[in-house]
Amino acid sequence: MRDTLGSKVVTYGLLAVFVIMVAVPLFWMVTTAIKTNKELYEDFSYFPQRPTLENFVRVIVREKLLTNIRNSFSVSMITTLITVIVSSLAAYSIVRYRYPGREWIGRIILFKYLLPSAMLFVPLYVIVTALGLGNTQQGLILTYLTFTIPFCTWMLMGYFRGMPVELEEQAMVDGCTKIGAMLRILLPLSAPGLVASAIFSFTLAWNEFLLALVITMDQSTMTVPIKLSMMVVGDQYIWGQLMAGAVLASIPVGILYFIGQRFVVQGLAAGAVKS
């Protein structure tokens, strides 16, 4: 597709605007992380006068944030894995099979989100503890599935519906089972959708606050958001350490996004070959 000079200017111009828009608060976060505590309370400055890594050191050594990052990672990854699998099956079931009630299930699956966490977390916690999963990763994962599965199922339903059935039918005529058609034809084609759901699921799990607050009790299970909030001690924000912790917490997911981009492109290439 040939781009005119005008459209190129518009594109790059908008890109610059968006980059600046995203960068400014991030810049603020990073510069705060490398300022000394004293400097943060002195007169305002755009850049740190005496940059230091002491906040990072404190957060890793004193607060042991790496443990929490590992906890968050493990919980988020497992949640995502289970979510994508369960949601794909459910979405395929609703879209490609026929049985009574499937239309309704597809509709009401979203109603879950009508209730805020502030309301649901108490009974959820009751169930988790009753199952003996208090202060465990499994308990946390179980509760996270309740808000990742409905969304991912719904999203995959949309994607699967948009995929032409002819390909699966062709495969079945060639001797494939229905499930085989799903695994071999539909899922690879829906790669962008699957990756997108995985990314959403991971991010939702990574950033979740309320349920983690209630279920995790100590360093062995505590996830990053809770740990960061604990750095608000009493009526003082330990700004430097908080931002250092935030930077560290954002790196793993940032890397994941960066890699995830490649995946989407690959999925697209496969799709282009198909047509």
- Which residues, 70 to 109, sit near another protein by CB under 8 A? 86-87, 89-90, 92-100, 102, 105, 107, 109
Instruction: Verify binding: residue 7, another protein, rule CB under 8 A.
Output: yes
Residues 145-204 contacting another protein, CB under 8 A: 145-146, 149-151, 153-155, 158-159, 161-162, 165-166, 168-169, 172-173, 178-179, 192-193, 195-196, 199-200, 203
Residue 28 contacts residue 51 (beta carbons within 8 Å): no
Cβ proximity to another protein, 51 vs 237, nearer residue: 237
CA 44 to CA 31: how far, in whole Å?
12
Residue 90 contacts residue 152 (beta carbons within 8 Å): no
Alpha helices in 131-238 (DSSP H): 137-162, 166-173, 178-181, 187-189, 191-207, 210-215, 224-229
Q: Which residues are bridge partners to 236 per DSSP?
A: 233
Smallest gap, in angstroms, from Cβ of residue 231 to another protein? Answer: 9
Residue 194 contacts residue 187 (beta carbons within 8 Å): yes
Smallest gap, in angstroms, from Cβ of residue 152 to another protein? Answer: 9
Smallest CA-to-CA distance from 84 within 232, 255, 263 is with 263
Smallest gap, in angstroms, from Cβ of residue 125 to another protein? Answer: 4
Residue 69 contacts residue 175 (beta carbons within 8 Å): no
What are φ and ψ of residue 236, in 5° steps?
-130, 135
Smallest gap, in angstroms, from Cβ of residue 84 to another protein? Answer: 12
Q: Which of 19, 53, 57, 66 binds another protein (CB under 8 A)?
A: 19
Smallest gap, in angstroms, from Cβ of residue 49 to another protein? Answer: 15
x/- track of binding to another protein for residues 48-67 (CB under 8 A): --------------x-----
Residue 186 contacts residue 160 (beta carbons within 8 Å): yes
Pairing assessment for the beta strands 236-237 and 232-233 based on DSSP bridges: antiparallel
x/- track of binding to another protein for residues 137-156 (CB under 8 A): -----xx-xx--xxx-xxx-
Orientation of helix 239-274 relative to helix 191-207, angle to 10°: 170
Smallest gap, in angstroms, from Cβ of residue 160 to another protein? Answer: 8
Cβ proximity to another protein, 49 vs 97, nearer residue: 97
Instruction: Verify binding: residue 214, another protein, rule CB under 8 A.
Output: yes
Smallest gap, in angstroms, from Cβ of residue 251 to another protein? Answer: 9
Instruction: Verify binding: residue 1, another protein, rule CB under 8 A.
Output: yes
Number of residues that bind another protein (CB under 8 A): 133
Orientation of helix 137-162 relative to helix 117-130, angle to 10°: 120
Instruction: Verify binding: residue 265, another protein, rule CB under 8 A.
Output: yes
